[in-house]
Structure 1
Amino acid sequence: MVWLPLPCCCRGQVLSVAPLQAEPDTAQQGPAPGGLQEDGGVQQMGHKKVNFAPEKTQAMVVSRSPAAGPAVEGRLRFGGVPLPLQEAVKVLGVEVDRELRFDGHIKHIAKKASHRVSALRRVASFLDRGGKLLLYKAQIRPYLEYAALSWMSCAASHTRRLDSIQRRALRLVDAADPPYPPDSPAQFEPVSPLDSLEHRRDVAVLVVFHKAQVQGVPHLAGLRQPPRVATRSTRTVLTSGDAVEVPRSRASQHQRTFVGRVSRMWNIFTAAVPHIQEMNTQSVKLAANRWRLLKPTPLRLVIL
């Protein structure tokens, strides 16, 4: 169970992660469904009771202020047990640190992916180019992209580190295959170029935002943004009926977050691609891929 009293991007908030276990003989009395009450370490949800393990519960203060942690140290109790504050907690395989920089998470996935590239090198001589490329897509690239929309606000140096791992793997893919004799036509068969990791993240961002903003998927409601107030278009500001308000922030890290980046990309994308309201998920994915191919990498988005 994850408690997020306020969005994680807010400073000075507490993130609690607690494993839970349902009682086999639940009571038939309790508060109304949806209610949550504390009863000495047993939480009542609706008409069911669940046991929480305080010794397995983790708490973390999301803040960059050195004084934020000591201000709540020892004051957080769960079932009468004080909760020690952690510097980072892992949620669904993503390590979230108290400053939301994701340094530890990027280091971990880079190490995992690098080890798999080394394993690919050991078997590369037994595979043709297609086999090596397939192995990279199936066994290495997923490490570089898992939950990428949650940590996309990390420093540019971290994303460049992941890009270098992909380039390292592609050098193995493009290497000459020893089994082929010299000047063999198969030795010079072109390999389909792979899109950059940033390209794939940007396409995923636009597709997810289309689900939230246009399709109205309920569990993505928190990602929706208010529509932009209609104003006339200029040479620098493109206006479409699907444009959204861009969060005003001068912090570079906030501009790299999902909302900060997708709001800018979405306004440019919808101005270039008509009939966005009539598209399904697959159509948006194809349109976003074609649109992103026309843009440079890295893509710098100005504050409009």
Structure 2
Amino acid sequence: MKHGEAPKLATMEACVSDIRRWMTENFLLLNSDKTEMLVLGPKKQRDLLTDLTLNLNGCIVISQKNVKNLGVTLDPDLSFDDHIKYISRTAFFHLRNIAKIRNYLSKIDAEKLIHAFVTSRLDYCNVLFSGYPDKSVNKLQLVLNTAARILTRTKKFDHITPVLASLHWLPVKARADFKVLLLTYKALHQLAPTYLAELVQPYIPTRNLRSKDAGLLIVPKISKQTAGGRAFSYRAPLLWNELPIWVRNVDSVQTFKSQLKTYLFSKVYG
């Protein structure tokens, strides 16, 4: 047995015991065909638990390389690479089909199809991509660019930025930040779940400074930029504090969404 393996296994057994007790107390059962398990944590520690198998009240669960939850594919490193590949592959499938019938559609109808089959997939759970490396997000941006070209019949080598601006489409990164900021606004106005509201704390200066009424938030310190920098508790206050005060202080969700898109649009295309 490797050094340090016994305590880890003991901890695992304790966790399994707690899960079994919680299931029994709440009269819950698991379906083996619908239950998946993913081991998260440092790679060295994950290697000790390769092909981990648990028996939870008669339900045999085997650890997987990736699992799907609410339509999002998760991997042990939370890189979302497999999820991005799936979105891109599915979106391009629909774009190819739309391109085949584009000449028979009006621009309004073509845009409806693109929003229904393509941009809706780009926007689903896109808050996960806020703060994500450009190299991976660019794969999704390519999907959006292709959709814009098909919709407007723009040639392959023509510059796409003016086309996106004319359509009033924000880039993928800005769309992700938009979702984070919208959730932040709702959390600050008791319109979001409590577990999100607890992650954003107002900044209260120790002295009577001008920033007292600016509506700023506390940006927590993080140890790892790659992982911690993408957490909602860090990303939300960081983006929120960058907003101009006239956006932060609006009094309704609809007004905030309008002002926020105007601000992000001018920041990207201005």
User: Normalising to structure 2: TM-score of the pair?
Assistant: 0.76
* Residue among 25, 30, 49 paired with 1:44: 25
Matched, 1:148 2:148: no
Q: Identity percentage over the alignment?
A: 21
1:83 alignment partner, SS class: strand
Counterpart of 1:105? Answer: 83
Deviation at 1:117, TM superposition (A): 0.8
Q: Which amino acid in 1 is paired with 2:177?
A: D
Aligned to 1:26: none
For residues 115 and 172 of structure 1, do their structure 2 counterparts lie closer, same or farther at Cα, with a shift above 3 Å needed?
same
Equivalences for residues 1-304 of structure 1 within 5 A: 38=20, 43-45=24-26, 49-54=27-32, 56-71=34-49, 74=52, 76-79=54-57, 83-175=61-153, 192-221=167-196, 224-230=199-205, 240-249=213-222, 250-269=224-243, 271-273=245-247, 275-276=249-250, 279-296=251-268
State the shift of 1:84 in Å: 2.0
Cα RMSD between the aligned structures? 3.3
Shift of 1:72: 7.8
Matched-pair contact (CA < 8 Å) for 1:228–1:245: yes
1:75 to partner: Cα distance: 6.9
- Give 1:285 deviation, angstroms: 0.9
Q: Give the drift of 1:273.
A: 3.1
Measured at CA, do residues 173 and 216 of structure 1 come closer, stay the same or move farther in structure 2, by a change above 3 Å?
closer
The alpha-carbon deviation at position 114 of structure 1 amounts to: 0.7
**Cα offset for 1:238?**
6.5
Closer, same or farther in 2 for the Cα pair 1:280/1:193, shift >3 Å? closer
Residues 150-159 or 72-81, more deviating: 72-81
Which structure: larger Rg?
Answer: 1
Question: Is the contact between residue 136 and residue 169 of structure 1 (CA under 8 Å) also seen in structure 2?
Answer: yes
The answer on whether the counterparts of 1:155 and 1:253 sit within 8 Å (CA) in structure 2 is no
Q: List gaps (5 residues or longer) in structure 1.
A: 1-12, 15-35, 177-189, 298-304
Q: CA deviation at 1:38?
A: 3.8
Partners of 2:186 and 2:253 within 8 A in 1: yes
Q: Count residues in correspondence.
A: 243
When residues 128 and 232 of structure 1 are mapped into structure 2, their CA distance, relative to the original with a 3 A threshold, is farther
CA deviation after TM superposition for structure 1 residue 173, in Å: 1.6
CA shift for structure 1 position 151: 4.4
CA gap 1:69/1:240 in 2 versus in 1, 3 angstroms: farther
Query: Deviations for 1:110-162, whole angstroms, at most 9, x for unmatched residues?
Result: 10001111011100111132322222122211111111113445432221111
Question: Does the aligned pair in 1 maintain the 2:129–2:137 contact within 8 Å?
Answer: no
Segment of structure 1 superposing worse, 215-224 or 245-254 = 215-224
| 1:59 Cα offset (Å) | 1.8
Which has more strand, going by share of residues?
1
SS in 2 for 1:90: strand
Comparing both structures, which one devotes a greater share of its residues to helix? 2
Alpha-carbon distance, 1:63 to partner: 1.8
Unaligned runs of 5+ in 2: 1-10, 13-17, 155-164
